[in-house]
Amino acid sequence: MMYKIINIIITINIIIVVGCVGSVIAQTKVVDYGFEDWTGDANTTKGYPFTNSAQSYWDTHTACTEVVTSYNADDMGQNWTALAGSKYLLFNRSSTTELEPIVAGIDANSVNSRSNLGVGLNYGGLNKINFAEVIITGRMFIRFWARFNRGHYGNFSGSPYPGMKFIRVHNDDPEATADIFMSLNCNHGINPLMYIWQTSSGGTHGSVTIANAYDGNWHKFSMYIDFNSGIVKQWYDVNIETLDNANQTWDNNGKIGAATYVTYISLNSNFAAKDPLDEIYSAIDNIEVWDGFPVTTDTIAPVRNKGFPAGEIGAATTVTDISLTTNENATCRYSALSGISYAEMTEFTNTTGTNHTTEVSGLENGLTYNYYVKCKDESENTNSDDFVITFSIANTQAVNNTSSGGKNCFIATAAYGTPLAEEVKILSRFRDKHLLTNYCGKTFVNMYYKYSPKMAEYISQKPGLKRVIRLMLSPLVNLIR
């Protein structure tokens, strides 16, 4: 995946026999680019694929994009790094709001990034590939990875619910009404809608909810258009795309309006020409475009997300679970040292699916712990870099009590006076069996550990308040008993 040069056209020489007449179609990858050859300037970067027809359009693109190695997505509590390699393209999505923290080279300057791919116009990157010349089968396939901050996707000038023109496939229709869009609905919080749009055929053609798309993590988007048959397909977070596993399919009965072939593609263009009024930004990496539908094998290591715990855990915690998720089935291992090979790491206790959990012990007050994780998928693709789970143990404990396993139920213990109370044991078992076994529950427990010690200290000094808390906890204890 390192040092990809878009202008090298890789012919795969895969032959597929289709139909009863036995015609053959070859698949050719015409774009394979991951921003690794970035020099700091598109005008000197051999593979940079985006171009424009006018200097003003190119200025718009450069004002709101920048190739970076990392970004502190502080509103998401994340540090964004590349999917593979070390570089990716970052977009500011609002002309009214600067990125915070500021990124050198990016201004709040335009609602439209004008990121045109495969048209070879005069202004922009040195790569001048022309899709009209190299996509000759009448079938086009694109896939890449993207991540978004959560933003406030309902706050736009001129319209409350615009759609994001995420992928726009331009074609030879002179009226431009046959352009095909992958659009993302912008007012569904973390779980937006993905839908197919074409103006000339009536607008929207079905939609699906794409879970967690705006959670700040890398997600995979793929789109296929067959101008010969009038079929459009879209995929979201599908590891290996096939014609049978698309999230969405639209069959327009043999035609794509007046269009017969693709001319170029715009990525991350705009929100139906509306301008976000909040800090909204996104990123893309690892772009592929094919002439024909690719027959591919999995060559990408698992994408790791949602490391847990994070931040500070309550004092006197000596044992806790660490966990993460992957975008595909994988086996994960960890080490307390960075740079350790996968083979030398310790395997998670619960792994092989997409949720991975293991217990770590020997934790002490006032210390910060880093656990470095690598995962390997079913195709033997293994992460080369470390995914770090970082947390700390509070230095002091407000109430001197622990539940089983060294994990604290501060408020319940303060209310009942002892960690040995039957009610405390019942609540502790509920936590261990039903909260610590899923991501949302773990997040709640982590927040509880962070804020409950001070509350428990106050409760322990107020006998009347203890009685009130016991009354409040009683229905819950009886329910889960």
Whether residues 385 and 405 share a domain: the answer is: no
Whether residues 32 and 155 share a domain: the answer is: yes
Residue 434 lies in a domain: yes
Q: Say what the pLDDT of residue 402 is.
A: 37
Residue with the larger pLDDT of the pair 206 and 248: 248
Q: Which of 243, 271, 291 finishes a domain?
A: 291
Instruction: Please check the confidence at residue 451 and state whether its pLDDT lies above 60.
Output: yes
Give 138-185 pLDDT, tens digit per residue: 999 999 999 999 876 667 777 666 778 899 999 999 888 899 999 998
Residue 4 lies in a domain: no
Whether residues 380 and 231 share a domain: the answer is: no
Give 66-92 pLDDT, tens digit per residue: 999 999 999 888 999 999 899 999 999
Residue-averaged pLDDT of the chain: 85
Q: Say what the pLDDT of residue 82 is.
A: 95
Whether residues 271 and 128 share a domain: the answer is: yes
Residue 296 lies in a domain: no
Whether residues 326 and 283 share a domain: the answer is: no
pLDDT-based confidence at 30, cuts 50/70/90?
very high
- Domain of 368, CATH number, reads 2.60.40.10
Instruction: Please check the confidence at residue 349 and state whether its pLDDT lies above 50.
Output: yes
Whether residues 366 and 307 share a domain: the answer is: yes
Q: Say what the pLDDT of residue 186 is.
A: 74
pLDDT-based confidence at 134, cuts 50/70/90?
very high
**For range 229-258, the mean pLDDT:** 92
Residue 55 lies in a domain: yes
Whether residues 313 and 451 share a domain: the answer is: no
Confidence (pTM): 0.66
Q: Say what the pLDDT of residue 469 is.
A: 85
**For range 354-381, the mean pLDDT:** 93
**For range 185-191, the mean pLDDT:** 71
Whether residues 386 and 450 share a domain: the answer is: no
Percent of the chain with pLDDT over 90: 50
Structural domain harbouring 104 = 10-291
- Domain of 180, CATH number, reads 2.60.120.560
Domain count, the chain: 3
**For range 244-251, the mean pLDDT:** 95
Give 212-221 pLDDT, tens digit per residue: 899 999 999 9
Whether residues 38 and 60 share a domain: the answer is: yes
Residue 3 lies in a domain: no
Residue 442 lies in a domain: yes
Q: Which of 396, 419, 446 finishes a domain?
A: 396
Instruction: Please check the confidence at residue 16 and state whether its pLDDT lies above 50.
Output: no
Tokens of 103: 């990124």
Q: Which of 241, 270, 291 finishes a domain?
A: 291
Q: Say what the pLDDT of residue 287 is.
A: 97
Residue 279 lies in a domain: yes
Q: Say what the pLDDT of residue 9 is.
A: 32
Whether residues 269 and 176 share a domain: the answer is: yes
What's the rounded Cα separation, in Å, for the pair 251 and 236?
Answer: 19
Q: Say what the pLDDT of residue 12 is.
A: 33
**For range 287-308, the mean pLDDT:** 89
Residue 48 lies in a domain: yes
Whether residues 212 and 251 share a domain: the answer is: yes
Instruction: Please check the confidence at residue 226 and state whether its pLDDT lies above 90.
Output: yes
Whether residues 240 and 336 share a domain: the answer is: no
Asked if residue 192 has a cis previous peptide bond (ω within 30° of 0), the answer is: no
